[in-house]
Amino acid sequence: MTFLGLIFLQIITPILILIVIGGALQRKFAFNLRAISNLITYCLMPAAVFINVYKTEIEMQVLMQIIGYLIVFSLGLIVMAALVCKLLKLEKGDAATFKNGFSLMNSGNYGIPVSQLIFHANPLGISIQIIVMIFQNVLTYTYGLYNLIAATKSGLEILRELLRLPIIHALILGSLLNGFNVPIPSFIWLPIEHLSDAFLAIALLLLGAQLAQIELKAMINKMVIITSFGRLVIGPAVSLLFIYLFGLDGVVAQSLFIASSFPTSRNSSTLALEYDVKPDLAAQTVLFTTILSSLTVTVVVYVSTILFL
């Protein structure tokens, strides 16, 4: 078996199996997805964030490079999306959906599990993905919201929403305890570790359950194809350009490059539904990019091992 095939078999296939199981279970039992989502958001994901941040040491210079890269990379995607919308003369609803589909990535219940499988022996790679996820949350509830509503929330309201996210608290606490080398007693560490271990499987089951609710009809249309190409092909290409411009290498470059290849964020579909802006198109984009990413992410992981290892 080729190395590319091995990556697909060992990294992507386990993810697909869990997604399919989640979809099948949802079709049969119709779970309360909001309750499961709350379990992940307020319990399992913060535990995974805390564990990985606590165990990882990131130099301040490297952290600043990562944040600088993420800002420039995201601005690059935003500008490109705006230019494509003008070039195609998209109406407001299609333009908003395209911009979010192109710029917002599923860095949470897709990105972190992928990173856990790839970097299971290197917490730095997972911690970088956590930083990407938090940055994407900020981008979603600022730029993403701005695309969908005429008058977005005030800056103070957005800040309050972000500060309510448990992953922010877990990130800060994990960083402080790490920075001051505070030992954690085993009777506290073990429950957190068990919660962290549960995150990967339940997050992917939830993703499958969410995708099972998306209608397949009219999924393959021009806008879905254009957005998918932008998210899964153009996105990683732009990422690679900025990685070289920033002079990044090793695990940092590999993790950021892989992070750029993830499918469209499920939050883009949730927000589109909440504000009634092309919700069907947004949902179809999430589903189609997630399906195609099984191939494109495999290729990006393979290329990353050639370029950065």
The per-residue b/e assignment along 57-87, b for 16 or more CB within 10 angstroms, e otherwise, is ebeeeeeebbeebbeebbebbbebbeebbee
Domain residue spans of the chain: 3-308
Say if residue 68's pLDDT is above 70.
yes
> 198-256: per-residue pLDDT in tens?
988 888 898 888 888 776 655 567 888 999 999 999 999 999 999 999 999 999 999 99
Residue type, 169: H
pLDDT at 150 over 60: no
* 6, 19, 43, 188, 242 from 39: Cα distances, Å: 33, 18, 5, 19, 36
Q: Is 122 helix (H, G, I), strand (E, B) or coil?
A: coil
Judge whether residue 121 has pLDDT over 80: no
Contact 136, 162 (CB under 8 A): no
pLDDT at 14: 87
Fold category of 3-308 in CATH: Na+/H+ antiporter like fold (1.20.1530)
What is the sign of the dihedral through the CA atoms of 191, 209, 121 and 241?
A: negative
CA–CA distance, 174 with 56 (Å, rounded to integer): 9
* DSSP letters for 21-74: HHHHHHHHH---HHHHHHHIIIIIHHHHHHHHHHH----HHHHHHHHHHHHHHH
How far apart are alpha carbons 234 and 242 in whole angstroms?
13
Q: Is 214 helix (H, G, I), strand (E, B) or coil?
A: coil
Write the pLDDT tens digit of every residue in 41-64. Answer: 789 888 988 887 888 777 788 889
